[in-house]
Amino acid sequence: METLEAIHTRRSIRKYTDRPVPRELVTELLRAAMSAPSAVNAQPWVFIVIDDRKILDEIPTYSPYAGMCREAPLAILICGDTTMEKAPGYWVQDLSLIHI
């Protein structure tokens, strides 16, 4: 798929199957996410892969925008680590550039 085609045909998914996500795919997605640009190439991120059903069901109680976690077989939590920053204050933009 060409870059512009990917941009123009992207869509959000809010309905999921109950099939587990293959580890190879999770690894590929994480590698792609780690290729995102960051200020001064600091890469101040930590990725937490969540596939525990109990935890996925609890996430919407902490975040009102995460209701889809109740149906998803897996979630990837992207955290900013300010101790890794080389350009203070840019971690929000750095994490916003990650698309998985």
Show me where the domains of the chain are located.
3-96
Residue 84 CB-half CA count within 13 A: 15
As a whole number, mean pLDDT of residues 41-65 equals 95
DSSP conformation class of 98: -
CATH superfamily, region 3-96: NADH Oxidase (3.40.109.10)
Express each pLDDT in 14-25 by its tens digit. Answer: 789 989 999 999
- CA distance linking residue 75 with residue 66, whole number of Å: 10
User: What pTM was estimated for this model as a whole?
Assistant: 0.84
Secondary structure class of 5 (helix, strand, coil)? helix
At 98 the pLDDT is 83
Helix (H) or strand (E) holding 78: strand 75-80
Structure tokens at 9: 């045909």
- CA distance linking residue 59 with residue 40, whole number of Å: 32
Confidence of residue 6 (pLDDT cuts 50, 70, 90): confident
